[in-house]
Amino acid sequence: MAFFRESDAISGKQARAFVSFGERREELFYAKNIEATIEKNKVDVPILGRTNTPQRSAGWKGSGTLTVYYVTSIFRQLMWEYIKTGKDFWFELQITNEDPTSGAGKQTARLLHCNLDSIIAAKFDASSDDMLEEELPFTFSDYELPDLFSELN
């Protein structure tokens, strides 16, 4: 009988993340967390003689949220340029999970053709002891897995 070893669980604190805008690549050392989701689009397929309505996949959409400490102006600057020129911008996010204690090795996910939904234009909170952070919701239209976790025994 196989058992999962606690040492193989992946610590999220061991991740590395990068954002790329064209030729510019920046480590997201100020990131707090990211979660990206792929959702399948499904359509109804009514079938004569069945009382249920089965579904089948008909595409997908990707969306996510990047939470960062409020210490960078890069996303505000890109949004400002969009406001002033009307020229939209896309970027790539690369996330690598690699915990040296785990036998799973590493996994790298690349989220391609990312586009921000919204940004915080300005922020402060004089009543809180917490550090300022911001959530950056985005969509993406392509996805790659250049590195996959190893199979655990």
In DSSP terms, which residues pair with 110 in a beta bridge? 94, 144
Instruction: Find, among 12, 21, 17, the residue nearest to 31 by Cα.
Output: 17
Structure tokens at 105: 């090795």
Q: Give pLDDT, residue 119.
A: 96
Q: Report CA dihedral (142, 92, 30, 70) to the nearest 10 degrees.
A: -90
> Which residues of the chain are modeled with pLDDT < 70?
none
Whole-number CA gyration radius for the chain: 20
Give the β-pairing of 31-44 and 142-147.
unpaired
Structure tokens at 130: 């917490």
Instruction: Find, among 128, 127, 119, 69, the residue nearest to 89 by Cα.
Output: 119
CB 135 within 8 A of CB 70: no
Q: Give pLDDT, residue 121.
A: 95
**Domains of the chain, start order:** 13-41+57-147 (2.30.110.40)
